[in-house]
Amino acid sequence: DQQVKQNSPSLSVQEGRISILNCDYTNSMFDYFLWYKKYPAEGPTFLISISSIKDKNEDGRFTVFLNKSAKHLSLHIVPSQPGDSAVYFCAAIGGVGGFKTIFGAGTRLFVKA
Amino acid sequence: EAGVAQSPRYKIIEKRQSVAFWCNPISGHATLYWYQQILGQGPKLLIQFQNNGVVDDSQLPKDRFSAERLKGVDSTLKIQPAKLEDSAVYLCASSLSLNSGANVLTFGAGSRLTVL
């Protein structure tokens, strides 16, 4: 039951360029979508979120876009920095799952200097 | 603010043995979660507590996994007997409460279990 899907296992980007990480979901009842970032040997840390009633949320170099009709969201990182190299998890909360946070499989981002 | 504490960080056991993981959430966080993360996959919720009551344990393999949160603070997750497929990182997380908007989770560093 994969309600949240990240179809790209990895992404490689040059420093200074834009990184775009994608996420698709199947449950139209989700209330919030979140992105978490994970470094090796650490737990995931919260990065940015977006309510289902909005289509964009920006925080510094990070912007999340939500396309509800396509059930798709994306995380843009501009400009990308080597320290952004990590695994990024898309997550969703609400709907039939109640307050359960459901995670995608993650996308590993490599930012080359 | 102290983060979510977990121990042990690493554990290696043989199949059919038992293991226990401990978690101390952020002070004041009412909700506590245990997630299982298998290599190459996203975290999967095993059990969710609100204070010391279970909110969701629908994906907890109850024949071998158990968890408790006595006094609504610390929590332990136990596996007995362990199987090879239990090899994973066990992540504990906490949040203020279930009704806090986007319900941001704060994770501990995880406990890596290897079952031989």
Interchain CB contact of B4 with A (< 8 Å): yes
A97, pLDDT greater than 60: no
pLDDT at A96: 60
Rg, chain B, Cα only? 13
What rounded mean pLDDT belongs to chain A?
94
Q: Which domains does chain A have, with CATH numbers?
A: 4-112 (2.60.40.10)
A101, pLDDT greater than 80: yes
B45, pLDDT greater than 90: yes
Averaged pLDDT for residues A45-49 = 97
SS3 A82: helix
Backbone torsions φ then ψ of B58, nearest 5 degrees: -65, -25
Using a CB-CB cut-off of 8 Å, the residues of chain A touching B107 are 43-45
Q: Which domains does chain B have, with CATH numbers?
A: 5-94 (2.60.40.10)
pLDDT tens-digit profile of A49-92? Answer: 999 999 999 999 999 999 999 999 999 999 999 999 999 999 99
pLDDT band at A16 (very low <50, low <70, confident <90, very high): very high
Question: Distance between CA atoms of A11 and A22, rounded to whole angstroms?
Answer: 10
Strand A107-112 relative to strand A10-14: parallel, antiparallel, unpaired?
parallel
Cβ <8 Å between A93 and B98:
no
* Closest CA–CA distance from residue A22 to any residue of chain B (Å): 15
Cβ <8 Å between A32 and B103:
yes
* Closest CA–CA distance from residue B82 to any residue of chain A (Å): 23
- Smallest Cα–Cα separation from B65: which of B38, B39, B36, B41? B36
